[in-house]
């Protein structure tokens, strides 16, 4: 069990560019979650998957954000036409199923949009 | 509407003393879970303690205990015998059945432990 891994750890991009982040959950964890966290705030829910099905996407998420989990294993989060307001830490978490007692978090991807 | 409210942006505590971090929540779902996570300056989120809505007793994990008052919808975290390493952000979180069991977080409380 290697834990939840996220790649890259840091990403610096220019406004208007597209970026993609990857998350590898703990193997056999059915649920995968994406959160966004800005400095001094709590993690804000973005979206989550049950296996390969995306069950919910936050209404706060613009159409520039898309997430996939094609084979029910790893997941990608893409942000198109990045804006400075997208600068944040993007956290991925997983757990075994709906009633799993806790989330297992990755170390996050820190995005800076210049 | 705010689902999780943490009213203390920052708290100070003397080393070796106990401290209570406040959390209130809002739900109409009879089945829910409450969590506390710690986030040190290094950034990783560390699970501390869990309380289910049907649990009769308050949860305890070592120096951490959760003061669960269901009627008041509060789930305060008590840290006993504070240590310097307890200095961190602390987040209260909730998972509801009606929310598809996704977990939502409060804004957090930053705890400073003084030597």
pLDDT of residue A18: 98
- pLDDT over threshold 80, residue B100: no
Task: Look at chain B and count its residues.
Answer: 115
A13 at interface of B, judged by CB pairs closer than 8 A? no
Does A33 sit within 8 Å of B102, measured CB to CB? yes
pLDDT of residue A1: 55
pLDDT of residue B54: 93
Q: Closest approach of chain A CAs to the CA of B92, in angstroms?
A: 9
Q: Token pair 């978490």 is at which residue?
A: A93
Residue B53 corresponds to which tokens in the numbers above? Answer: 């809505």
A41 at interface of B, judged by CB pairs closer than 8 A? yes
pLDDT of residue B2: 63
Over the stretch B21-56, which tens digit does the pLDDT of each residue have?
Answer: 999 999 999 989 999 999 999 888 999 999 999 999
Q: Closest approach of chain A CAs to the CA of B66, in angstroms?
A: 15
What string of H, E and C letters represents the secondary structure of B3-41?
CEECCCCEEEEECCCCEEECCEECCCCCCEEEEEEEECC
Over the stretch B59-99, which tens digit does the pLDDT of each residue have?
Answer: 999 999 999 999 999 999 999 999 999 999 999 999 988 77
pLDDT of residue A66: 95
Q: Closest approach of chain A CAs to the CA of B72, in angstroms?
A: 23
B111 at interface of A, judged by CB pairs closer than 8 A? no
Does A91 sit within 8 Å of B47, measured CB to CB? no
Over the stretch A66-95, which tens digit does the pLDDT of each residue have?
Answer: 999 998 899 999 999 999 999 999 999 999
pLDDT of residue B1: 57
Average pLDDT by consecutive 10-residue portion of chain A (114 residues)? 90 98 94 94 94 89 92 94 96 83 92 97
Does A99 sit within 8 Å of B91, measured CB to CB? no
CB B66 within 8 A of CB B49: yes
Does B106 sit within 8 Å of A105, measured CB to CB? no
pLDDT of residue B102: 84
Residue in chain A lying closest to B107 (CA): A42
Preferred mutation among A32, A40, A43, A104 to probe B, highest tally of B CBs within 10 A: A43
Residue B91 corresponds to which tokens in the numbers above? Answer: 């987040």
Encode A1-37: b = buried (16+ Cβ within 10 Å), e = exposed. Answer: eeebebeeeebebeeeeebebebbbbeebbbbbbbbb
């Amino acid at each position: 069990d290697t834990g939840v891994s996220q790649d890259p750890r840091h990403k610096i991009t220019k406004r208007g560019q597209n970026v993609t982040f990857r998350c590898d959950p703990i193997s056999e964890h059915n649920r995968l979650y994406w959160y966004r966290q800005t400095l001094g705030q709590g993690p804000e829910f973005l979206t989550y998957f049950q296996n390969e099905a995306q069950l919910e996407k936050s209404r706060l998420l613009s159409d520039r954000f898309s997430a996939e989990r094609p084979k029910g294993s790893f997941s990608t989060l893409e942000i198109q036409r990045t804006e400075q307001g997208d600068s944040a830490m993007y956290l991925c978490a997983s757990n075994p199923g709906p009633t799993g007692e806790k989330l297992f978090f990755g170390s996050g991807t820190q995005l800076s949009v210049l | 509407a705010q689902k999780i409210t943490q009213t203390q942006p920052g708290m100070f505590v003397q080393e070796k003393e106990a401290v209570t971090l406040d959390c209130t929540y809002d739900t109409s779902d009879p089945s829910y879970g409450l969590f506390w996570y710690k986030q040190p300056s290094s950034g990783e989120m560390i699970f501390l303690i869990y309380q289910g809505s049907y649990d009769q007793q308050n949860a305890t994990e070592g120096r951490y205990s959760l003061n669960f008052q269901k009627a008041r919808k509060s789930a305060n975290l008590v840290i006993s015998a504070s240590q310097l390493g307890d200095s961190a952000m602390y987040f209260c979180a909730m998972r509801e059945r009606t929310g598809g069991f996704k977990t939502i977080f409060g804004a957090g409380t930053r705890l400073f432990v003084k030597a």
